[in-house]
Amino acid sequence: ADKFITIGEIMLRLTPPNYEKIRMASGFEASYGGSEANIALALANLGVDSTFFSVVPNNSLGKSAIRMLRSNDVHCTPVILSTPQQTPTHRLGSYYLETGYGIRASKVIYDRKNSAISEFDFKTVDLNELLEGFTWLHLSGITPALSPGCGELILESLKTAKEKGITVSFDGNFRSKLWTWEQARDFCTQCLPYVDVLLGIEPYHLWKDESDHSKGDVKDGVPLQPSYEQQDEIFRAFAAGYPNLKCIARHVRYAHSGSENSLKAFLWYENHTFESRMFTFNILDRVGGGDAFASGLIYAMMHGYKPMDMVNFAVASSAIKHTIRGDANITDDVESIRNLMNMNYDIKR
């Protein structure tokens, strides 16, 4: 059976209740988020042997984050509870989420500078030892944006994983509040030769520069909402440069109005492009939708699904996450995702 590990930051998430704006909030609901942690959580809930590696301050905030992961069956043995000597600012990163409603968009304010993971000196960590025994490593383009030390950790982990024959998935996950588009593109390009399963890199191979993205009205469709033929061409051209890529996935969002969204995805697998079904749903909480797509794809690949089932399972997993409050797809019955993937909405009783 597969043994999964991921490396990244876990943060405290603070959300005003009931779709309130931050400006009006008299209280905040506490939960936890972080792209890689979301994936570790989702996979553990689906029954995968799932491990998370990070650094958190050795105080009540850091320990609570780890306790939450453990209570969801995520193994946290390698997590470093750092001392104030190791991480002088001694912080757990956090972020505020103002949940959008209808036509009002969500808003994220990060408060994560100098968090423990970004201050930690990873030269003390033996990556060969850390990754021993794992079959799958997942990384994202968020962690390297935190500090030069984190960037080195990600690149070195990729190299070590490849030496050890571990399958590597990587989600580009561009975060414009953490670094520039050029920095992100250059870093992700360095990572690509070590990756087997690639997600979330559409910014880097579709946009000529970051301003292309800000112009990109999702309703303007092409190529942000490509046809099968267009996406096939994009995959083909991209994959030609990276023969190591076994799989490339891209999910595409179609906003109808406010909270009603449709989602579908394309999958490049064994030199062929597969297109998923389109799922339409109302959004309760959209944060982590991409992570749920990634965890769904990883689960489906680990379990030997056929390519059409892989891509449909990944989109169904993301669609379900949009109906769950919090960052992660906390779904502990695989059947419910499989039913949605097959568009079977019957209540089982």
Which residues of this protein are in contact with ligand KDG, per CB under 6 A? 33-35, 38, 142, 175, 287-288, 290-291, 327
Residue 119 or 291: the one with the smaller Cβ distance to ligand KDG is 291
Kindly give the pairing relationship between strand 247-257 and strand 260-269.
Answer: antiparallel
Residue 35 or 99: the one with the smaller Cβ distance to ligand KDG is 35
Kindly give the pairing relationship between strand 260-269 and strand 279-282.
Answer: antiparallel
CB-CB contact of 317 with 288 (8 Å): no
Q: State the DSSP code for 98.
A: E
For residue 173, the minimal CB distance to ligand KDG (Å) is 7
Residue 303 DSSP SS3: coil
For residue 177, the minimal CB distance to ligand KDG (Å) is 8
Phi then psi for residue 54, to 5 deg, are: -160, 180
What count of other Cβ atoms lies within 10 Å of the Cβ of residue 252? Answer: 21
- The two tokens of residue 326 are 């919090």
Residue 187 or 305: the one with the smaller Cβ distance to ligand KDG is 187
For residue 161, the minimal CB distance to ligand KDG (Å) is 21
For residue 10, the minimal CB distance to ligand KDG (Å) is 8
Residue 226 or 288: the one with the smaller Cβ distance to ligand KDG is 288
CB-CB contact of 204 with 188 (8 Å): yes
d(CA 315, CA 340): 9
Residue 312 or 329: the one with the smaller Cβ distance to ligand KDG is 329
Residue nearest ligand KDG by beta-carbon distance? 33
For residue 35, the minimal CB distance to ligand KDG (Å) is 4
Taking CA atoms, 33 is separated from 13, 289, 304, in Å, by 6, 12, 29
d(CA 80, CA 103): 41
CB-CB contact of 264 with 315 (8 Å): yes
- The two tokens of residue 305 are 């699904």
Residue 146 or 239: the one with the smaller Cβ distance to ligand KDG is 146
For residue 176, the minimal CB distance to ligand KDG (Å) is 11
For residue 243, the minimal CB distance to ligand KDG (Å) is 29
Residue 264 or 321: the one with the smaller Cβ distance to ligand KDG is 321
CB-CB contact of 31 with 15 (8 Å): yes
